[in-house]
Amino acid sequence: MSAGGRRRTWIAATIAAAALGMGDASAGAKNTVNSFEGSCSLQGTVRFSPPATNAQQSLSVVYDATGACSGTLNGRTISNAPVTVHDSVRQVDGSCMRADTTKPGRGSITFADGTTIRFSFEFHFVAAAGTLSYNGQQSGTAHGTGSFATPRTPPDIAQQCAGAGVSETPLDISLVTDTPLVSKSAGS
């Protein structure tokens, strides 16, 4: 083999080795996780489809909220950090009187810096009060309480339930982790 041929082989081998090295780095990035341990206070709106009435029926439920969380996010202490939350679940056995998940829903808490904690959740509500349980996408658990009785709740909600139904209403939730909620990072 000529000197030029050996040089081309050496350059090709160097490029291949560098590419493999970069592949290892991106593989490591794909395995990163986000973790949150602490408490959150959320104020939002829940939407029901079809509208919730006094009769039990299968409902799809979507909850969008803003709020604040305090605790530890990816190893750093946070206090009253702004968050947005989005949850959705189908086949809820629900009415204005009682609502229970029949299978876990999916949700996420997103912090202002873009860090997102994904989770599954279940709930049990009787009238205006309920309990919730959360499981981190990778690991961890949290529990919470929710209330439809908020300062933003319309005064005619009972009449809506007895009539055409409630398509949306305010819901406030407080949650506390039992163990850190852990989920894959957005790049995973």
Residues 65 and 1 in one domain: no
3-class secondary structure per residue, 48-93 = EEEEECCCCEEEEEEEEEEEEEEEEECCEEEEEEEEEEEEEEEEEE
pLDDT interval class at 79 (50, 70, 90): very high
Residues 89 and 123 in one domain: yes
Total number of domains in the chain: 2
Cis before 151? omega within 30: no
Residues 5 and 40 in one domain: no
pLDDT interval class at 26 (50, 70, 90): very low
What's the rounded mean pLDDT across residues 79-90?
98
What's the rounded mean pLDDT across residues 62-68?
98
Residues 51 and 24 in one domain: no
Q: Among 25-29, 48-52, 109-113, whose mean pLDDT is lowest?
A: 25-29
Residues 107 and 128 in one domain: yes
Residues 42 and 22 in one domain: no
Residues 67 and 4 in one domain: no
Which tokens sit at 149? Answer: 């009785």
The whole domain housing 1 covers: 1-31
**Top-confidence residue, 187 or 108:** 108
**Top-confidence residue, 99 or 28:** 99
Distance CA(88)–CA(78), nearest Å, equals 26
For the segment 106-163, what is each residue's pLDDT rounded down to a tens digit?
999 999 999 999 999 999 999 999 999 999 999 999 999 999 999 999 999 999 999 9
pLDDT (0 to 100) of residue 10: 40
Residues 91 and 15 in one domain: no
Residues 113 and 171 in one domain: yes
In a 13 Å sphere around the CA of 143, the CA atoms on its Cβ side amount to 4
Residues 131 and 87 in one domain: yes
Residues 48 and 106 in one domain: yes
Calculate what percentage of the chain has a pLDDT beyond 70.
82
Residues 6 and 73 in one domain: no
